[in-house]
A = this chain, B = another copy of it.
Amino acid sequence: MEIALSEMSTQLQNLAKKSILDLQPYQPGLNAKDVGIDKELIKLASNENPIGVSQKAIEAIKSSLENIYRYPPDRPFSLREKIAKRCGVNPQNIILGNGSDEIIELIIKAFLNPGEEVILSEPDFLIYKLAAKAAGAKIVCVSVKNFRTDLKRIKLAINNKTKLIFISNPNNPLGSYLNQGEIEDFLKDIPENVVIIFDQAYIEFVQADDYPRMLEFLDKQNLILLRTFSKFYGLAGLRIGYGISNPQFIDYLNRVRLPFNVNYLAQQAAAAVLDDETFLNQTKEVVSEGKEYICNSLNKLNFFYINSATNFVTIDVQQDGREFCRRMLAYGIIVRNLKPYKLNNFVRLTIGKKEENERFIKALLEIKNG
């Protein structure tokens, strides 16, 4: 059925909020269909778990299927309790979301007034900018320094209109992290009018001893930590993440959260994977060994990369990144081009299984020589 557009077009444009008129939807990244490739692909572009799904999660889902016609628990206590235990906090410090992206949205809904300012590092996870733009905020971008978030200059950018500061630590897409001392200095004397969001989506991959002990700051500042089940825990398809903060902050977020935001199978799978130590240890091992292999290989081949605390490595491929990704796709390998982050010659490579990493290096060598 054809639906006429002509007259309604202008009309609708006048009704939409100004802040969305120049918004582009987030681009999830190239896939095979886009370029007519048929072969089985090696997907190293979305930072997913290299070894797949936890069998305990799968079993938990299977045993829950007869109940999916019921609305799920709205604020599942036992899951929050389990997460809290693992983190070293209490259940009332936890709020669950449809991915940690939803927690970002709740924060904006609860705290961001039009005309207020949001400070972002650049580059950093694009969703912060998208979500803040859609809300009509003024966005202040502070460039990284030596591929690391520049906390000093972020602090200098704070003014009396600043409401939110988003910082991913470790940083996506760079892979670098900020240490305990830097975070302490940063948080000292932060003005009271600011809410700081530390996105720790990759924290479970961090091995550094000086990664900041963020929970110690929770009672000193209006601060929230974001975590996800999408990367380390291997549940990206189910959409479940959480925020950790003081109880009043969590309460405000719950007021703007619509009920039943986290689906039942995500809840069941998340609870199960938290207990799957075998899976979690194997994940750590595969990523750690894979990263070592990749970085050694890159060194041998003379490609610069950013030291990474995550499950990905960001590489200077010495040519246009988008072009490089197309050439990789011909080898059946998908990596993430970082042009949307203004890193024109960089790509982000997710650490895969051993054989996947080896295929990547082999293809890289051929592209370099070719």
Q: Which positions in A face B, CB cutoff 8 Å?
A: 1-5, 8-9, 11-12, 14-17, 20, 23-26, 28, 43, 46, 48-49, 52-53, 57-58, 61-62, 65-72, 74, 88-90, 93, 98-99, 101-102, 104-105, 109-114, 127, 130-131, 134-135, 163, 192-193, 195, 215, 218-219, 221-222, 230, 234-239, 246-249, 252, 254-266, 269
Enumerate chain B residues within 8 angstroms of A24, measured Cβ to Cβ: 255
Q: If A68-B269, A236-B70, A246-B8 touch, does A3 touch B48 (CB 8 Å cutoff)?
A: no
Partner of A69, one of B8, B14, B52, B266: B52
User: 17 A-B contacts, Cβ less than 8 Å apart?
Assistant: A1-B90, A3-B218, A17-B113, A23-B256, A28-B71, A53-B66, A61-B68, A62-B65, A67-B237, A68-B237, A69-B235, A69-B237, A109-B134, A127-B258, A237-B263, A238-B265, A263-B265
CB proximity of A99 to chain B, nearest CB, Å: 6
Known A25-B257, A219-B4, A256-B134: A193·B49 in contact at CB below 8 Å: no
Chain A contact residues, majority secondary structure:
loop
Closest to A98 in B: B98
Look across to chain B and name the residue whose beta carbon is closest to the beta carbon of A51: B69
Instruction: Give min CB distance, A28 to chain B, whole Å.
Output: 5
Query: Cβ of A53 and Cβ of B28 under 8 Å apart?
Result: no
Q: Contact between B74 and A53 (Cβ–Cβ < 8 Å)?
A: no
Nearest-neighbor residue (CB-CB) of A11 within chain B = B192
- A12-B249, A17-B113, A52-B66 known; A71 vs B237 contact (CB < 8 Å): yes
Among candidates B105, B230, B258, residue contacting A258 with C-beta atoms closer than 8 Å: B105
Q: Complex Cα distance A315/B335, Å?
A: 59
Cα separation A165 to B239 with both chains bound (whole Å): 31
| A65 proximity list for chain B (CB < 8 A) | 53, 58, 61-62
Known: A14-B193, A25-B254, A237-B265. 11 other contacts (CB 8 A): A1-B88, A15-B195, A17-B109, A17-B112, A28-B71, A53-B66, A68-B269, A98-B261, A98-B263, A236-B260, A237-B264
- Which 6 pairs of residues, A with B, have the shortest CB-CB distance? A237-B264, A68-B237, A69-B234, A23-B255, A3-B219, A239-B263
**Which B residues lie within 8 Å of A3 (CB)?**
89-90, 93, 218-219, 246-247
